[in-house]
Amino acid sequence: MEILVRTNPHPSPLVDEGDVVDIREDGWAWGAGERKAAWLADGRAEEDWPRNHYVIIVPDLTVTEAVEGYRLLDPQLAYYPADDDVTVVKQRRWYADLSLIPEALDAAIAEAGEWTLPFAEARQFVFDKVTGEPL
């Protein structure tokens, strides 16, 4: 599973730095504004990469497990447009506490734009915004 995390402030009061913005199965084709590799593949300059998101890759967790077992995208905080099967989350329940990531690793993640780690390690950084409990 891949988790899209907001890495800097957003103009919307419903989106905070560190919020889990979206989750998708491994190999999802994130857009240029979401994944650095897609930004570069579009022919854009590396120095212009806005660093708005990180993609956290958790290969030993599926989207179904994340949604059903951990409510990573909480349906109570979402709405579903009638003409589409896309879930739009109005408020984020989970966030990645980016301050807990060691500085050297944070620099490496910022450079790559993504991070791969097992679920047991991801739980050390991802928390419920309401209860403070880990994923």
pTM: 0.81
Extents of the domains making up the chain: 2-128
DSSP codes, 70-131: H-SS-GGGEE--TT-S--EESS-SEEE-GGGS-HHHHHHHHHHSEEE--HHHHTTTEEETTT
- pLDDT tens string, the chain, 135 residues long: the values are 999 898 887 777 777 888 888 888 999 999 998 999 999 999 999 999 988 898 999 999 998 888 777 777 665 555 555 555 555 555 677 888 988 988 888 888 888 889 999 999 988 989 988 788 888
